[in-house]
Amino acid sequence: MYDLHRLGWNSFQQLCLTIVREVLGQTVQSFLDSNDAGRDGAFAGSWSPAAGQHLSGRFVIQCKFSNKAGCLLAKSDIADEVPKVRKLVADGLCDVYVLMTNAGVSGKQEARISSELIGAGAKHVLIYGPTWIEDQIKVSTRLRMLVPRLYGLGDLSQILDERAYAQARAVLESLREDLAKVVITDSYRKAVNALDEHGFVLLIGEPAAGKTTIASMLAMAAADKWKSSVLKLADPEKVVERWNVDEPSQFFWIDDAFGVTQYESPLVHGWNHSLAQVKTMLRQGCKIVMTSRDYIYNRARHDLKESALPLLSESQVVIDVHDLSDLEKQQILYNHLKLGKQPAAFRTDIEPHLEYMAAHPRFIPETARRIADPLFTKDLYLGEYHLGQFVEKREQLLLEVIQGLDANSKAALGLIYMRKDHLESPVTLQGAEPQALERLGSTLGECITALDALNGSLVTNIQIDDQPVWRFKHPTIGDAYAVTLALSPDLLGIFLSGSSTENLTSQVTCGNVGVEKAVIVPKSLFPMMVARLREFSASDKYKVQWISSWGAKWTLYRFLASRCSKEFLALYLEQDPDILKRVSEPGLSLSAVPEVDLAVRLHGFGLLPEGNRQKFVEAVSKYAIEGEDVHALDDAGVHSVFTDSEFDELVETVRTDLLPKLADVRRNVQKKHDSSDPPDEHMQTILESFSTLKKRFSEDEDAVKIIERETDLANEWIAETEPPEPKVTPRTLGTVEPVEKKHGSRSIFDDIADGDA
């Protein structure tokens, strides 16, 4: 069932000792080293390995690993162990000898080996071969969670519960190759603890630091141990849409929750809108795992309503995955090389330098994946200096690999990039893509051939919502492709004309406005970008026409407000002056509507005429005074559009007009409650308004008393209206102990060149 021969000597010993601890219930002292004196592990005490069998004394555990599939254990394989056993017995350290091996053991050989070891002085000998080891793995979900590489070394349809496998097949099958290479890290242990305690974890880290790997391990463990349906989704609306109140064991995995390579404010606003429902989902037993690049999360947290989901501000659930120990990095590098595409000769030549590579301060898991793929090492000299450069200059070397591709391969990558890393298969060209491919010197047929050739190295074909999709093998490939666009104005022009406008708005900036990893459109291409934006009238995300038009407007305004320079905005306003009227009269939910941010942006650049500024001030002031939306009192951007006297007047009017009737405002909101909506979700906005008012009038004791009283009454109403909490069966993955520390001189890489690649 499991390809145990692919584990490597170190991982096999770890597996054996984990079995002894977790399955056999023994506290084991380990000696993971070539100088172990014949003991890979040891424990003392009493143990009943089978009914009617009782053993006691000092136990010695020795592991025999073979990297050859179907290998049989021979008597000669333990010849070196016999004198070690004699010495251990003489020293009073060996009463029971436990031999664990992945090599097959025949009955005849087992009898011969046992006789030899008993002849050396052991009172009892137990030999556990691959069948016994696989049986332990098969019956213990916890063991599989503790050694998640096993998921990648076996048939998932046999490992997982049939129902869980059927539900999660599209997500999990695509992970098998990567799961075979995973390593338990401190970040994984912290993530398990957070998921057990809170049902929620956010993994942050630099690009290619291993966030998705940890999330995939958690997803597999949830499907295995809890029989969870695993849903890997892209945005908050889909999370709420796919939530099944009758299935509390659902596991939601949201990769790149706030943007793939760049910060995408629409995703954050979507989360703000959905956070109350997310809280309800967590209370009812769902588990949620998110990942985000660190620089994207740092941007997102300024816009996230952490008050709506306090978990987001707790260090226990926001885990930075950067830190890896030297041993963890070595094991990651070993696993990728051992299971990668490099021939044995390459692995032999590189072995003396592997510990140096793993110790490099810029080593990340993605480095291991690239060194294991011949595509990235064609012209690499296997010396310490050049390997150091391979680790140090990983971004530049990846760029050189992409620039060195043939025209069809570059066009294939460009097509994926134009589709924002989501190219549905079979591939059908859309819009101006045929012309873009022609200008790139390729055709659809040649692109498809190139995609097949690049599969597994630069691109991958996976299932998303039961739809085959071509994606970059890792988002860093998209980062590097974006750099090639920036280096070539002609290529960038092709990209601007061939991509959908909706995708462009989350990939480019017009001028340099400080958005990391964005493609910067230079001044010479501003007219082309204005033309693309002016023709953008419907979003592809929505099927209903009026929602589609609204979505396009929302996307356009958000883009203008956050990704455009003053010079571009001035040019755009010349073409579309009517936009000034629309941003001057924003609707409710001021914290979310993009007209507000655009008005603030235009005012900051001196592009908002005085008449429009005054209309904007009047509109947002009216909302605050009537208690409909007090965002103007708390937002520094909105505040900046006011003059000092206008803002002082607003604050005083809210004090005299709104606070005395705050109870009426609260009661009106309560009356509008629909019984199908969770009460806390329904009252979320007004509670946030009360919090804003309390902060604004913190020095006015009378005002604070009014606000606190209404806050208490709102919370009492929620408690009275809230339906009883459902009884949820506790679901705990359990503590994950640290991996063994290295105990001596034997290198993890000792057998890197042995066996098949």
Angle at 414 between CA 408 and CA 416, to 5 degrees: 110
pLDDT on residue 117: 92
Question: Taking 50 as the threshold, does the pLDDT of residue 542 lie above it?
Answer: no
- Tell which wins on pLDDT, 73 or 547: 73
Would you place residue 347 in the very low, low, confident or very high pLDDT band (cuts 50, 70, 90)?
very high
Taking only the tens place, the pLDDT of each residue in 111-152 is 999 999 999 999 999 999 999 999 888 888 888 888 888 888
Confidence of residue 19 (pLDDT cuts 50, 70, 90): confident
Which residues are registered as beta bridge partners of 128? 100
- For the chain, the domains span 4-139, 144-320, 326-392, 577-723
Rounded CA gap, 412 and 460, in Å?
12
- CATH of range 144-320; options 3.30.2410, 3.40.50, 1.10.10, 3.80.10: 3.40.50
**β-strands 467-472, 423-424 pairing:** antiparallel
Residue 392, sorted as left (phi over 0), alpha (psi -120 to 50) or beta, turns out to be alpha
Spatial distance between the Cα atoms of 236 and 250, rounded to a whole number of angstroms: 15
Are the beta carbons of 152 and 182 closer than 8 angstroms? yes
Which pLDDT belongs to residue 468?
A: 86
If we measure between CA atoms, which residue out of 485, 469, 556, 470 comes closest to residue 520?
Answer: 485
What average pLDDT does the segment 351-358 reach?
94
Average pLDDT over residues 646-658: 94
Which contacts qualify for 734-737: CB closer than 8 Å, 24 or more apart?
Answer: 734/142, 734/145, 734/192, 734/196, 735/189, 735/192, 735/193, 736/145, 736/146, 736/184, 736/188, 736/189, 736/192, 736/193, 737/21, 737/146, 737/189
| Structure confidence by residue, pLDDT tens digits, 466-478 | 788 999 988 888 8
Helix (H) / strand (E) containing 313: none
Could you give the CA distance from residue 573 to residue 272 in angstroms, rounded to a whole number? Answer: 30
Q: How many residues does the structure list for the chain?
A: 757
Structure tokens at 8: 């490597």
pLDDT band with cut points at 50, 70 and 90 for residue 757:
very low
- Label residue 52 exposed, middle or buried (CB < 10 Å: 0-12, 13-18, 19+): exposed
Q: Compute the 3-state secondary structure of the chain and give helix, strand, coil in percent, each to the nearest 5.
A: 55, 10, 35
**Residue keyed to tokens 């008993």:** 118
Q: What pLDDT, on a 0 to 100 scale, did the predictor assign at position 242?
A: 83
* Tens digits of residue pLDDT in 233-280: 877 878 888 888 778 888 998 888 888 888 888 888 888 878 778 888
DSSP code of residue 750: G
At residue 163, the pLDDT reads: 63
Average pLDDT over residues 729-752: 72
Q: Is 310 helix (H, G, I), strand (E, B) or coil?
A: helix
DSSP string, 96-160: EEEEEESSB--HHHHHHHHHHHHHTT-SEEEEE-HHHHHHHHHH-HHHHHHSGGGGGGB-HHHHS
- CATH T-level topology, domain 4-139: Restriction Endonuclease (3.40.91)
pLDDT exceeds 90 at position 752: no
Bridge-partner residues for 204, per DSSP? 292, 320
Q: Give residue-wise pLDDT tens across range 21-60.
A: 887 776 666 655 545 566 777 888 888 877 778 888 888 8
Tens digit of each residue's pLDDT (9 = 90 or more) over 678-689: 788 888 889 989
Q: What is the separation of C-alpha 212 from the centre of its chain, rounded to a whole number of angstroms?
A: 4
Mean pLDDT of the chain: 86
